[in-house]
Amino acid sequence: MTDTLRAKALRTIKSFGDGALGHYIGGRSVPGEGTTFDVFEPASGGTLGQARDATGAEVDAAVAAAREAFPAWAALPGTKRRAILHKVADLIEARADEIAAVECLDAGQAWRFMSKAALRGAENFRFFADKAPSAADGHSLPTGEHLNYTTRHPIGPVAVITPWNTPFMLSTWKIAPALAAGCTVVHKPAEWSPYSARLLVEIAHEAGLPAGVFNAVNGLGETTGKRLTEHPDIKAIAFVGESKTGSAIMRQGSETLKRVHFELGGKNPVIVFEDADFDRALDAALFMIYSLNGQRCTSSSRLLVQRSIYDRFIAAAAERVKNLKVGDPFDPLTEVGPLIHQRHYDKVASYMKVATDEGARIAAGGARHEGAGDGYFFQPTLFAGAEQSMRVAQEEIFGPVLTAIPFDDEADAIAKANDVQYGLAAYLWTNDLGRGLRVANAVEAGMVWVNSENVRHLPTPFGGTKASGIGRDGGDWSFDFYMETKNVALAYGTHKIQRLGV
């Protein structure tokens, strides 16, 4: 099965053409003339191929195509947009194994998670397809003398810029609502895992999306990404990535007053109180940090455990961490695959010395994982005895690395949970309902799960506070970003108008 899936992914990549991966502009493949960069296979460290950094003219052409296609797409009845987006979902489902295989190959993510992620991409399209007919709906806000009503209108061509960790699922999350709202899109996927984005744009056109509605350009952040975010015809930027990149994008977009939606980094606490269901809390904490190779914005990267159960919890966790199955992403039994890139591997590995220099103890892992291949495999790692002030408790490592910190009581747990620059997600484990409510209220996070791992429900808002983001995805929140709200006030003809100059 492993060889078949890998061969399938290689065939798909080959189908994009012999040369470097280019762009998809105005409904057709554009080879591109920009410089090339290598794309690596995380599991082997070998080169999978090259992709092109879009030139200024190519970015301009993609934006021009999106601008030209905008009026007709925005004017299309929502029911017609719904039909096309459902067709996209059908085709994603039909090719889910192929998409998942491409994610395993160029993002190094394990098959057991990617097979579901591809299907979630289809669900994202279906969910927003069904909302397309009502996207423009507003409110009726009458007074005695005026009828106010609001309507929503798609904002225009938007840029969607995505990271490398779960590239396909994440991009559908942004692109589906943008298209459902009536916006046109220029997507720039991450340079370390660009292939599944090409698959998505091809599938969308096969489903009947008109040319120019959805364009994709490849390239580096500092060049292609920057050009896109500075372009005057791009009206909004939906960005998922690092917090410091978010700051750069805000600066780049400031001249043209871009609307921004940022989903950024996290250092999310999982807080385990002594009265929690020990086994379920342990399962969830480990799942949230070691699935997706720890390259997950909502990972539970800080384990805050009440002191009375700390030693028992850490011992149980360490045993499980040592037992995790690290290996070939295509092997259905693999739980942890390789990191995305040598540069990211070096970053994650560098935290081992940071941890021990600061006085934390490596309770599991801590070194390269041997025997799985020549790629970027790192052992799942657990730091114990850490303090909240340490760098390993403050900085986003974005790998299979968990930092465990003891706390004394509810107040201490809340103080420690909030003592980071980030505020994306928090996970609480307690069987005391009142405590669950109090802590959920007090933690600074955009999303809190009580007695649960991250279980996504598309109508709910997804996003972060503090350095973790601006804005929310999901449900109607997505449309608030991709659409302008207009208020119309109609007078009944009865109100008094001041008469000047009489």
Contacts with ligand NAD by CB under 6 A lie at 161-165, 170, 188, 190-191, 220-222, 225-226, 229, 240-242, 245, 248-249, 252, 263-266, 297, 396, 398, 424, 464, 469
Q: How far is the CB of 190 from ligand NAD (least distance, A)?
A: 4
Q: Which is nearer to ligand NAD, 111 or 398 (CB)?
A: 398
Distance, CA of 99 to CA of 14 (rounded, Å):
14
Distance, CA of 111 to CA of 501 (rounded, Å):
77
Q: Which is nearer to ligand NAD, 229 or 403 (CB)?
A: 229
Residue closest to ligand NAD, measured at CB:
221
Q: Which is nearer to ligand NAD, 53 or 98 (CB)?
A: 53
Q: Which is nearer to ligand NAD, 225 or 406 (CB)?
A: 225
Q: Which is nearer to ligand NAD, 327 or 423 (CB)?
A: 423
Q: How far is the CB of 289 from ligand NAD (least distance, A)?
A: 13
Whether the Cβ atoms of residue 302 and residue 269 lie closer than 8 Å to each other: yes
Catalytic residue among 263, 335, 395, 396: 263
Candidates 100, 95, 91; CA nearest to 1 is: 100
Please confirm, yes or no, whether 263 is among the known catalytic residues: yes
Distance, CA of 243 to CA of 311 (rounded, Å):
34
- Tokens representing 190 are 């991450």
Across 90-183, the runs of DSSP E, i.e. the strands, are 140-142, 146-154, 157-161
Q: How far is the CB of 90 from ligand NAD (least distance, A)?
A: 26
Q: Which is nearer to ligand NAD, 222 or 432 (CB)?
A: 222
Within 10 Å of residue 134's Cβ, how many Cβ atoms?
Answer: 13
Got the DSSP string for 176-229? HHHHHHT-EEEEE--TTS-HHHHHHHHHHHHTTPPTTSEEE----IIIIIHHHH
Q: How far is the CB of 296 from ligand NAD (least distance, A)?
A: 7
Q: How far is the CB of 137 from ligand NAD (least distance, A)?
A: 27
Distance, CA of 70 to CA of 59 (rounded, Å):
17
Pairing of strands 47-52, 36-40: antiparallel
Candidates 259, 147, 200; CA nearest to 12 is: 200
Q: How far is the CB of 192 from ligand NAD (least distance, A)?
A: 7
Task: Give catalytic residues, as residue numbers.
Answer: 263
